[in-house]
Amino acid sequence: MASEDDLGIETEAEPSGVLSVEIAAEDAGERTDKALAMRLPELSRARLQALIAEGRVSVDGRPVTNGAARAAAGVYRVEVPPPEPAEPQAEAIPLTILYEDAHLVVLDKPPGMAMHPAPGSERGTVVNALLHHCGDSLSGIGGVARPGIVHRIDKETSGVVVAAKTDAAHQGLSALFAGHDIERVYVAFTRGAPSPSRGTIEGAIARSTHDRKKMALVKSGGRHAVTHYRVERTFGPQEKPLAARVACRLETGRTHQIRVHLASKGTPCLGDPVYGSGPPAEKVREAVRASGLARQALHAAVLGFRHPVTGEDLRFESPLPADMAALESLLAAL
């Protein structure tokens, strides 16, 4: 591997957490985030992307706003804030609690709330809120950064999640999820409608080799994933629907599973910024704008399981949040 001297890089750490690096004219032209990551090995590419998004990166005094843009020659300054505490901090964040006992708590998570702290989402997460609500009673099996977290849904996906307050509940819930002995139903609004109107999508999912932020169906390797779907309602012409409401029942639970599987049918979730390749029909775009939807139209509507400690059968339903409910009303008028 080439050293910094071999690459002709001059890097210096400045006081107050500012890093400075120069990119020469002959080295300009590659992606800015990649170029900086090569020259600042103490920062990952993902960390640099987050710092760019926070407005902490500049070149010759001009802010860098897009890490994917080609790097310009000049002196780059990267402001690195003090590290966050290793342990998440309790925050008084309101929670919609559907059920709670001494062992577990079931929440209706709003869109835009991450499950646990991560780079770019260190505060305002479900974990921060649970630490305030539950105090020291959260299960420690999830580790310091993820106490009580048994399963996750995407930050911009809304709906029902369960967290463990005791280690016994955590172990029991984890076994239920691992054994696919959990009822999980999601509601999605899609571009067009999957065909046939009812079916099963199977395919192994792994990290995309082209974009590390995305997951993808792969022919070899990856993790086996199964989604059962049913079109509940279509919108627009019956012979060629412009959009659809689709119920998806998870048999497995992989990262971005429903989003990847629906996109593989050519019917991605409306509003999905990652997997929604190709715009929907203009009328659908207007409905999305008018509804205020600013995320993927995906909602964890049902969660059912046997209580891991008491043995009681539990089932929880969450109505569509305001943005998706408004979207459905507008689509119904097409």
- Separation CA 201–CA 257 (nearest Å): 10
In what helix (H) or strand (E) does residue 261 lie, and over which residues does it extend? helix 257-264
Assess whether 154 carries a catalytic annotation. yes
Spell out the alpha helix ranges (H) of 179-294: 257-264, 282-291
Task: Say which of 33, 154, 272, 323 is annotated catalytic.
Answer: 154
Q: What angle do CA 87, 54, 28 make, to 5 degrees?
A: 120
Report residue 259: phi and psi, to 5°.
Answer: -65, -45
Residues 6+ apart with CB under 8 A from 209: 216
Minimal CA–CA distance to 78: which of 116, 49, 107, 121? Answer: 49
Place of tokens 């080609």: 70
- Tally of residues, the chain: 334
Would you state the structure tokens that stand for residue 48, as one six-digit string? 């640099």
> What positions carry a catalytic annotation?
154
